[in-house]
Amino acid sequence: MGELGARYLDAAIALLERLRDKELPAVDDAAERIALSLAAGGRLFVFGGGHSALNAYDVVYRAGGLILANPLIAPGNDLGVRPITTSSAVEKLPELATPVLDGAGVRTGDVLVVISLSGRNGLPVEMARQGRDRGALVVGVTSVAASNAEAPRHPSGTRLLDNCDVVLDAGVPAGDAALDVAGVPQRVGPTSGVVCSAVMQTLMVTVIGRLVALGVEPPVFMSANIEGGAAWNDRLLAENADRIFYLR
């Protein structure tokens, strides 16, 4: 059985190596634009459809992470909903984008990162479409191969990758699962969680570096498990309260 574990790790490592070798120019482009927006007073929002919500949450309220990353939450879109199948239905509903974006007040000069591996469902596609209409910089995290493998579900006939200013391609195969296993008719071993979280963390650290290059000290969380960490975080949260929405 250890051989299956090694095969899974090899598949994940190959995708991470692809991210490093192929996608860093796109990450740099996105980070430069995001840093310029944040330096000018813009707000940063992140949204993920379905399981991709986990990748959005991964950069929110995180030690070593940018304090300014605000999650956008659509009711029923996360895996805490019951029955859990509701999340799959909600991800297909483009009409939910309007109240979510209205509630956050997304506007010109803001940044919206939308994560959807398949890039075909109505809600994440509409989030990107409306984000651009509202004047926000929209960065999409998706899989180009997976997205192009199936027909889009948005009424416009477009995919996430068609509605973004910058596209970051996770390179995850269609269907997500990475391994063929004898005796199992369906492939196993989803890789999108590992890779999309790596995309998001790579993007965030690059944004932090770009802010420093612009002469802006980036507000970054310190672990509350380190002496002085809680006081550090309280100070930065107070200093940036006008651009933080997850404490309200």
pLDDT tens by residue, the chain, 248 residues: 679 999 999 999 999 999 999 999 999 999 999 999 999 999 999 999 999 999 999 999 999 999 999 999 999 998 889 999 999 999 999 999 999 999 999 999 999 999 999 999 999 999 999 999 999 999 999 999 999 999 999 999 999 999 999 999 999 999 999 999 999 999 999 999 999 999 999 999 999 999 999 999 999 999 999 999 999 999 999 999 999 999 98
Residue 124: strand, helix, or coil: helix
Query: Largest Cα–Cα distance in the chain?
Result: 57
225, two tokens:
């498990």
Give the CB-side neighbour count of residue 131, counting CA atoms within 13 A.
31
Pairing of strands 188-190, 177-179: antiparallel
pLDDT of residue 228: 98
**Angle subtended at Cα 160 by Cα 218 and Cα 96, rounded to the nearest 5 degrees:** 85
Question: Which residue in the block uniquely carries the two structure tokens 């120019």?
Answer: 25
